[in-house]
Structure 1
Amino acid sequence: MSLKTALRRMKKRGLYYDIRSYRRFRKKLVVLSKNCPPKAMPVGQVIRTIRNWGIIGYLFNRYYMAHGECSVAEYVPENFYSWYLLSALNPKTTAHRVGDKRMLDILYPGTSPTFLIKSDGRWSFSEQAIDDAEAERMLLEHLPSAVVLKKPHSARGQDIYIFSEGESAELLDKARKLPDLCVQDYIHQDQALAVFHPASVNSIRMLTINFMGDIRILGAFVRFGVGDSVVDNVEAGGLCVHLDRYGHAAGPAIHKDGRSFTHHPDSQQAFSSLVVQHWSVLEEQVTELHRMTPDVGFIGWDFAVGEDRFWLLECNTGHPSLLYHQYQQAPLFGDMLPGLFRAVTGRAFLR
């Protein structure tokens, strides 16, 4: 065995793995520990859980189990997900390409509100190069309905710029400065979601997996902006509400610090009233979209609910988090877990 191979394996096992995991995921563990006091676990189950997941993975499972009132330690810890599953199922080059917002209309034609992209300072429309003057004409033409500029790999609600009528100078200035852009029409969302927080487009995050051709929806939640924020991302201070298999709210909204809300803090609208209409249509759509990009195992899809359809805003392939999905429901992987675990570790999953 080469030294390089030995070091790589050491990073995924034993004390070094747990120390590395703790340093990276400490903040998440602290939040979980404050909100999910663990209950007693039989000694045999403790041993099996540590053998499966390591010490940090054991802690993740204890907290998830306490919050979800679950008796099995089959939650996939964030460290295992990051260093085993994503590294195996989301090859970096392919995942980077699929996660590039400029690729939306190329990979999934007709699904997104994208109408212009910019790469290395050069504009294109419908995969055809256009000059700066034509691009700026199109930007101003779309401005009365609002225009959204995004960096290709923006995340956590950052590097998103929204311009409305009367802000043409600011729009052109920003578009000229940034060499790489995805430009989208602003989506006027369905009133069923706007009623909670109209200042932000309150999007649906769906997480799917493709393992050996078996495509499944692992979980879904809706995100809502708070205060005067125009973004809904949880890491930017927004809230998320878990959706059940029928598109209905399945619990209170959750803040990144673990606080829960039965009503939106601004509108006072009850989250229990939340229902996403035509949910089965969206389930079919996201499954078909993942089938179109089979080389990526995990994709986090962000959809806006328009007045007459669903719009794909972006797909996340770098690290579409499991935490907010697992925090509010039972273990995600079900009967897929043993095969998935063996495929990425070479070991049997102990139950």
Structure 2
Amino acid sequence: MKQIQQTWGGIPFSTRHLQSYRLYKAVRGFDSRFLPMPLYDPSIIRVLNPKEDAAVFVNKGLFERLFSELKQPQCFFKRINSNFYVQGYQVADLDYIIDYWTTLGSFVIKPSKNSHGGVGVRVFNRHITKDEAILLIQEYKDDFLVQEVVRQHDETSVFNKTSINTIRIISLYLNGRVSILRSSLRIGLPGSVVDNAGAGGIMVGLDEYGRLFDFGITQTFEKIWLTANGIEFSGRRVTAFPKIRKIVIENHAFLYPTLGMVAWDFAVGADGSPIFLEGNTKVPGIFWIQFCTGPIFGERTQEVVNYCKSNNDIYF
């Protein structure tokens, strides 16, 4: 407890913090630099990512415009604030959208705001009828996107073919320097179309060269060394990962200049090219990635503590 309080600048201590450390210690051993969620939000992330700035980047329907420099899945159409748009931001009426939707042989539909953990993501590998299109519009009451189904590279699909197994990479932009904090490969369960740990998926750490760690972590905090289909993590590598790291390091300060911390999600296309899926800014997820890779801020922990103490005394 003394080490934890010393690491995090004498924060008020509670049993809520202790529970997080018990979990991390059971899986990875004790390290006072692990960041418990009751401290992360609001004491840390609200300073690194002010709410008013983080909110700018929440709606995925704006990603085509905000991140046009990055390769993204083709968006067939979207709904933003009750309006439909095709070909970027050309307004379309409901009848056109329904007719157009029935021509798509495959697509992904997902909420574009107020969503997390893969909730609401569905994949269709067939044409739908007009009645089905109407039902989907009614079901997704808020903003949503309809995008192409990404065909992923063999290096990631080998772990589970029903989900797009994505790269989660968390970056820190602080005191004029961008660095990669933690990185992982997220793998879905057989039959699942999403790979999020909260949805039962597996998270496996990646080193700076894209080599997988020997073990992954499940939703039940279990260490595992191979997937349900018998693929071992040890010795595997995502060769596109150095390209993804480079994209993040070169673009954090440019695309997210007001935010200190971003959790980026990338897929690896069939041709090996990185495909940007989203950037998580409101409360970038750190809980599971710490289990499989270690304390989130690593060697920059003290720097983060000093910054947060200097910029928001209310929490310290």
Normalised by the shorter chain, which TM-score bucket? Answer: 0.7 to 0.9
TM-score, length of structure 1 as denominator length: 0.77
2:109 alignment partner, SS class = strand
2:10 alignment partner, SS class = helix
Question: Structure 1 pair 278/92, CA: closer, same or farther in 2 (3 Å)?
Answer: same
Aligned-pair distance for 1:218? 0.8
Number of the residue aligned with 1:214:
177
Aligned-pair distance for 1:339? 2.9
Measured in 2, the distance between the counterparts of 1:221 and 1:152 equals 24
Measured in 2, the distance between the counterparts of 1:289 and 1:138 equals 35
Q: 1:108, 1:289 within 8 Å by CA — same for their partners in 2?
A: no
Q: Which structure is richer in relative contact order (CA contacts within 8 A, separation 6 or more)?
A: 2
- Structure 2: gaps spanning 5 or more residues: none
Letter in 1 for 2:249: T
Aligned-pair distance for 1:276? 0.7
Aligned-pair distance for 1:335? 4.2
Matched ranges for 1:1-351 at <5 A: 45=3, 48=6, 52-53=10-11, 54-55=13-14, 56-57=16-17, 60-61=20-21, 63-64=23-24, 67-69=27-29, 73-109=32-68, 110-115=70-75, 116-125=77-86, 126-141=88-103, 143-169=104-130, 170-175=132-137, 177=139, 178-265=141-228, 267-291=229-253, 292-308=255-271, 309-346=273-310
Aligned-pair distance for 1:274? 2.8
Question: Structure 1 pair 45/337, CA: closer, same or farther in 2 (3 Å)?
Answer: closer
Aligned-pair distance for 1:120? 2.3
Measured in 1, the distance between the counterparts of 2:158 and 2:278 equals 23
Q: 2:261, 2:284 within 8 Å by CA — same for their partners in 1?
A: yes
Number of the residue aligned with 1:21:
none
Measured in 2, the distance between the counterparts of 1:90 and 1:47 equals 23
Measured in 1, the distance between the counterparts of 2:185 and 2:162 equals 15
Measured in 2, the distance between the counterparts of 1:47 and 1:134 equals 59
Post-superposition Cα deviations, 1:119-163, rounded to whole Å, max 9, x if no partner, equal 12211232232222333344334x224333334232111111222
1:272 alignment partner, SS class = coil
Measured in 2, the distance between the counterparts of 1:46 and 1:211 equals 23
Measured in 2, the distance between the counterparts of 1:342 and 1:106 equals 35
Letter in 1 for 2:55: H
Measured in 2, the distance between the counterparts of 1:341 and 1:50 equals 6
Q: Which structure carries more helix by proportion? A: 1
Q: 2:209, 2:239 within 8 Å by CA — same for their partners in 1?
A: no
Letter in 1 for 2:110: L
Measured in 1, the distance between the counterparts of 2:93 and 2:127 equals 24
1:222 alignment partner, SS class = strand
TM-score, length of structure 2 as denominator length: 0.85
Question: Structure 1 pair 226/286, CA: closer, same or farther in 2 (3 Å)?
Answer: same
Measured in 1, the distance between the counterparts of 2:22 and 2:222 equals 19
Runs of 4+ in 1 over 6 A off after TM superposition: none
Q: 1:204, 1:221 within 8 Å by CA — same for their partners in 2?
A: yes
Aligned-pair distance for 1:58? 5.4
Provide the aligned length of Structure 1 versus Structure 2: 303
Aligned-pair distance for 1:50? 7.9
CA-based RMSD of the aligned residues comes to: 2.6
Number of the residue aligned with 1:26:
none
Measured in 2, the distance between the counterparts of 1:313 and 1:258 equals 26
Q: 1:151, 1:182 within 8 Å by CA — same for their partners in 2?
A: yes
Q: 2:226, 2:233 within 8 Å by CA — same for their partners in 1?
A: yes
